Amino acid sequence: MQSRQNQPDESKREFLQSSLILAAISFGYLVLDGCSSLSYSTIAKEQTMNTEGNERFTRGWDKLKEIDGEAGEKVIESLKNIAPDLGRYTIEYPFGDIYSRQGLDLKSREIATVAALTSMGNAAPQLKVHINAALNVGCTPEEIVEIIIQMSVYAGFPAALNAASAAKIVFVERGIINV
Amino acid sequence: MQSRQNQPDESKREFLQSSLILAAISFGYLVLDGCSSLSYSTIAKEQTMNTEGNERFTRGWDKLKEIDGEAGEKVIESLKNIAPDLGRYTIEYPFGDIYSRQGLDLKSREIATVAALTSMGNAAPQLKVHINAALNVGCTPEEIVEIIIQMSVYAGFPAALNAASAAKIVFVERGIINV
Amino acid sequence: MQSRQNQPDESKREFLQSSLILAAISFGYLVLDGCSSLSYSTIAKEQTMNTEGNERFTRGWDKLKEIDGEAGEKVIESLKNIAPDLGRYTIEYPFGDIYSRQGLDLKSREIATVAALTSMGNAAPQLKVHINAALNVGCTPEEIVEIIIQMSVYAGFPAALNAASAAKIVFVERGIINV
Amino acid sequence: MQSRQNQPDESKREFLQSSLILAAISFGYLVLDGCSSLSYSTIAKEQTMNTEGNERFTRGWDKLKEIDGEAGEKVIESLKNIAPDLGRYTIEYPFGDIYSRQGLDLKSREIATVAALTSMGNAAPQLKVHINAALNVGCTPEEIVEIIIQMSVYAGFPAALNAASAAKIVFVERGIINV
Amino acid sequence: MQSRQNQPDESKREFLQSSLILAAISFGYLVLDGCSSLSYSTIAKEQTMNTEGNERFTRGWDKLKEIDGEAGEKVIESLKNIAPDLGRYTIEYPFGDIYSRQGLDLKSREIATVAALTSMGNAAPQLKVHINAALNVGCTPEEIVEIIIQMSVYAGFPAALNAASAAKIVFVERGIINV
Amino acid sequence: MQSRQNQPDESKREFLQSSLILAAISFGYLVLDGCSSLSYSTIAKEQTMNTEGNERFTRGWDKLKEIDGEAGEKVIESLKNIAPDLGRYTIEYPFGDIYSRQGLDLKSREIATVAALTSMGNAAPQLKVHINAALNVGCTPEEIVEIIIQMSVYAGFPAALNAASAAKIVFVERGIINV
């Protein structure tokens, strides 16, 4: 996780720039693609706005990288040509507003999030991101497994079993367990 | 979408016929397959009934093709050898009864459906069908993305993010955006 | 609905002020109430911050009043002594950010929200607020009922039946139907 | 339960008639009530249609009374002035189409429905109707409690506990247990 | 909360005894009530078994009282004449097995549970029990409110708003805030 | 299904042994893998405990094999290196406690479970296991399809359609239908 902390701060600036460049580039591609592409491309360009000088965005982006690491960046990246403003809101509200709040430490916040996503049972990709995030902010693998086991009580065994499968994938990816 | 409108009307008749022929054909296959196959095949044959001269079915089938296009037909097709009556009900009730009602235009109906499927978060295949359907009945790509972004408020960011992924797949398939 | 538009703009200023006054007043009450009350009161006071000069809050508060009318204000009011920042976020993100966006008209946005809340089936108070909101921004009673009926397809009959009960309460309150 | 079986068959005819009379009566009331009431009343009148000579409706109504008894009739009754067509569909599709199917006995169907409504956890009124229905079609109180206990495995203990509360209310109402 | 800790240990023994006495007493009442009552009463009696000398039950009962206090006991009490075995399982599995595990402290466990119940949004009574429980095991009111606010990100604003209402009721009951 | 009944009883003993051996083996692997792997491996070893001489585990394991067959064993197997205690609880509570209860026959229990998992719509792997289980304990393919069709009423058409897809996969795997 430390290596993530040290990621050059340029990645943020790069994102901010690429958000602006994106439209130009994709415009180039899409202009050949006909009318509907062009219009959606233009709209997508207009969505990616207001990030320079936006304190919530800057704070959120730093927090996102601290907590979610690369996985979080990939989520935002994947939204660029479909719903860049959803990416911006994901940075601003959850990370710029909520995870930046005082009153609850980051480890407790990730315990809450892993519990919620396990229980809701319909957000497998996000659960994996937050099992990673929980490890990033100091949860042990054992604690994550305890949360998941506990959710069998509140959301039933299928929810817990599926979350255990998600944890297995993350733990293998991070070398915590072998396959 | 226009091309879908022009699909030869035979596809409906073909479906009605194939529903009857299906049993015969699959009977031929399955009779070699042993006892349990035979019995389920017979049952499946009995399920596919009452579609000729059934006004709700006819109206629903036309409406399904108008709204969902090929994607809708594939859903019905895929049910043929497992639960053909569920296919028939899917035509009769949602399309023959509900989408054929006055009182709300088709575009508004698809806005409602995309919102619902995004929020429920456990129906990815149907969400893709209805993102296509929303485009078919006049929603712009931008409007669909707006609905999805808005659902972050009511169903949370994971639901919105997963719906954005679904929209991305549909938009790429239709050439609205590039990969 | 117009009458709501004309509500003196003081109600916003009043809210902003009362947010600050609240702590003082409740501090007065709660100081007699012992340690834990005091500490939570202090925290609640700290939560209600940053609303003066906050463009998203101002825009959101106006939008909230436009769409939800008094019902929306009551929601925010009810949060004052428990989670004022959740009230502030409710104004800033859904109303200041999302409902203030271009790209989808308010009527379509409320169609989406009524559909979502009907389908999720676990947010009866919010469903009533948004049935009111839908009427406020131009949906007819008939259109709202159509959305609810349609949700029987996607979320099942119980969800639709419970939403019809919610609509009945709202329609009676507004004199659209008799008891 | 037997007493329900013997309910005069007039109740169905009465419903069919009252559906037509309803509009006239409520029209009389509502005409004094101003424009929006009038229009919704007219719409509601138009909704209640096509029940005479509708085989699915007739079959469904008989099935509804057989299974749900008075509780089912009250559900339909309560929809009359808000969404009469949702009432009609509730009779036609679930009862006229589904519960009238061969292939699964009514007791097994109610076991499935009690399990589903317990697990979904957001349909308390319908759960009570179907705990009654399960008793009506031959489930014992013990069997119903077994289903509810079993759902703790799949949907968690809160869902099971809330369903047990619903069963307690129904069992007290029917004199199966004392308060 | 301290007063709960000091509750005479008899309450457990009392429960164990009353579980046995219950059948006799309720049998006396119910025998006058007719056949079905009698049979369900007998079954309920048979359900309440195997608690003496059951280590998981004893450990769970102590843990339930430690965590949930009176609210937990009331849940079990309310199940006595409807599903006593569900009460026994609630003691044995969640409290005797899960909350008695090493590997995650009780405060973190309640953070997880409050997050889960807030997000699922269909378990209001249990959410109130566990907001109380969270306070009992060392969460501050502020921390609970932080969890609830955070859930707006994952489960949407309605879920968070409804949980804030539940917290308000609990905080008023405990004198943490005034009405 | 009979062949499953005859599986040598050694498979249970083998599991009990391999649970103990597992730690040793994986310890060997993981010791090279660094500190965090080692610690989680040790914890996982500690989790797999108390199964010898545990009556609930033994009864549950037999019941699991009777009902779910190989699919159930695979679920437990897959939990070994991530959450072995969740595997143990899955055997002890659902199978050792619940499915071993009197009061409802196994076929009715599987009808309830297929209905619940279809309705919840977020547990596809478990639904497939229990469609298999339902067939194992005497449900016909037709009855399973009837349950799934019926769930369109309570949980909507998407839930029913997705369950039909799951059933199709299971039926093809078992040779009940052809592809």
B132-136, E45-49, F3-7, F110-114: which has the minimum mean pLDDT? F3-7
pLDDT at C179: 77
Q: Which residue type is seen at B43?
A: I
E55 Cβ contact list (under 8 Å, min separation 6) = E96
Q: Would the CB atoms of C97 and A103 count as touching at under 8 Å? A: no
Q: What is the DSSP string of chain D?
A: -HHHHTS-THHHHHHHHHHHHHHHHHHHHHGGG-HHHHHHHHHHHHHS-S-TT-HHHHHHHHHHHHHHTHHHHHHHHHTTTT-HHHHHHHIIIIIIIITT-SSS-HHHHHHHHHHHHHHH-S-HHHHHHHHHHHHHTT--HHHHHHHHHHHHHHH-HHHHHHHHHHHHHHHHHTTSS--
Q: Taking 70 as the threshold, does the pLDDT of residue E17 lie above it?
A: no
* pLDDT reported for residue D177: 95
Res F51: pLDDT: 64
pLDDT at A12: 47
Taking the CA of residue E134 and the nearest CA in chain A, the distance in Å comes to 13
**pLDDT recorded at residue B99:** 98
Instruction: Identify the pLDDT of residue B117.
Output: 98
Q: Which residues of A touch C (CB under 8 A)?
A: 43, 85, 89, 93, 97, 101, 103
Top-confidence residue, C162 or E5: C162
Q: How many CA atoms lie within 13 A of E31 on its CB side?
A: 5
- Across the interface, of B41, B86, B121, the residue whose CB is closest to F160 is B86
Please give the pLDDT value at position C48: 58
- Of residues C149, C167, C176, nearest to D85 (C-beta): C149
Region B9-31 average pLDDT: 37
pLDDT at E41: 65
Cβ contact (<8 Å) for E158 and B154?
yes
Average pLDDT taken over every residue of chain F: 81
Share of residues in chain F with pLDDT > 90 (%): 66
Quick one: pLDDT at residue F179?
77
Task: Choose, out of B26, B30, B82, the residue to mutate when testing the contact with F (most F CBs < 10 Å).
Answer: B82
> Smallest Cβ distance to F40: which of A122, A161, A176?
A176
Q: What's the token pair of residue A22? A: 């994106």
Would you place residue B174 in the very low, low, confident or very high pLDDT band (cuts 50, 70, 90)? very high
* Alpha-carbon gap, residue C86 to D53, rounded angstroms: 55
Distance of CA D160 to the CA centre of its chain: 22
**How much is the average pLDDT of A44-64?**
79
| Type of residue found at D40 | Y
Check CB contact under 8 Å for C153 and B115: no
Residue E45's pLDDT is what? Answer: 62
What is the reported pLDDT for C15? 46
Going by pLDDT thresholds of 50, 70 and 90, the confidence category of residue E12 is very low
CA distances from C12 to C59, C72, C106 (A): 11, 12, 22
C111: closest CA of chain A, how far (Å): 20
Output b/e per residue, D3-22; b: 16+ Cβ within 10 A.
Answer: ebeeeeeeebeebbeebeeb
Contact flag E150-A98 (C-beta cutoff 8 Å)? yes
- Give me the pLDDT at residue D179, please: 78
* Contact residues on chain D for A119, CB-CB shorter than 8 A: 156
Q: Mean of the per-residue pLDDT values for chain E? A: 81
**ipTM for this model:** 0.79
Query: So what's the pLDDT on residue B26?
Result: 33
Per-residue model confidence (pLDDT) at position C39: 60
* CB-CB neighbors (< 8 A) of A89 in chain C: 93, 97
pLDDT in tens, F73-105: 999 999 999 999 999 999 999 999 999 999 999
Distance from CA of C119 to the nearest CA of F (A): 9
* pLDDT score of B1: 36
| pLDDT on residue B157 | 98
Residue E18 has pLDDT above 50, yes or no: no
Q: How far is E59 from chain B, CA to nearest CA, in Å?
A: 38
Is residue D46 pLDDT above 80, yes or no? Answer: no
pLDDT digits (tens, 9 = 90+) for B49-105: 556 568 999 999 999 999 998 889 999 999 999 999 999 999 999 999 999 999 999
Nearest to D153 among F93, F119, F143 (CB): F93
Low-confidence ranges of chain F (pLDDT < 50): 1-38
Q: Which residues of chain E are within 8 Å of residue C78 when distances are taken between CB atoms?
A: 165, 168
Contact D22, D77 (CB under 8 A): no
User: Rounded distance, CA E18 to CA C7, Å?
Assistant: 60
Nearest neighbour of A40 by CB, restricted to B121, B142, B157: B142
Minimal Cβ distance to C162: which of D39, D121, D125: D125
Gap from C45 CA to chain D (nearest CA, Å): 34
More confident residue, D37 or F54: F54
**Residue of higher predicted confidence among B179 and B15:** B179
Q: Show contacts of A28-31: CB within 8 Å, 24+ apart.
A: A29/B178, A30/B177, A30/B178
pLDDT of residue E169: 97
Q: Residue ranges of the alpha helices (H) in F6-69?
A: 10-30, 35-47, 55-68
Measured CA to CA, the distance from residue C136 to residue C140 in angstroms comes to 9
**How large is the average pLDDT for residues E48-65?**
83
Mean pLDDT, residues E64-71 taken together: 92
Residue B118 confidence (pLDDT) above 80: yes
Residue range B126-148: average pLDDT?
A: 98
Per-residue pLDDT of chain C (179 residues; tens, 9 = 90+): 344 444 444 444 444 434 433 322 333 232 223 334 446 766 566 665 556 568 999 999 999 999 998 889 999 999 999 999 999 999 999 999 999 999 999 999 999 999 999 999 999 999 999 999 999 999 999 999 999 999 999 999 999 999 999 999 999 999 999 87
Residues of F in contact with C119 (CB under 8 A): 156
The domain over range C105-179 is classified in CATH as 3.40.50.1000: no
Q: Predicted confidence band at E39 (pLDDT cuts at 50, 70, 90)?
A: low
Average pLDDT of the residues of chain B: 81
Q: Is the pLDDT of residue A53 over 90?
A: no
pLDDT in tens, D61-117: 999 999 998 889 999 999 999 999 999 999 999 999 999 999 999 999 999 999 999
- Cβ pair A89:C97 closer than 8 A: yes
Which site among E25, E77, E122 would you substitute to test the D interface, given the most D Cβ atoms closer than 10 Å to its Cβ?
A: E122
Dist CA B44 CA F177 (whole Å): 10
Give the C-alpha separation, D90 to C167, whole Å: 17
Q: What is the pLDDT of residues E128-158, one digit of tens each?
A: 999 999 999 999 999 999 999 999 999 999 9
Can you give the pTM of this predicted structure? 0.83
Residue E166 pLDDT > 70, yes or no? Answer: yes
Question: Do D156 and A156 count as a contact with CB atoms less than 8 A apart?
Answer: yes
Q: What is the pLDDT of residue F35?
A: 39
E105-135: b (≥16 Cβ within 10 Å) or e: ebbbbbbbbbbbbbbbbbbbbbbbbbbbbbb
Domain extents in chain F: 10-42, 47-101, 105-179
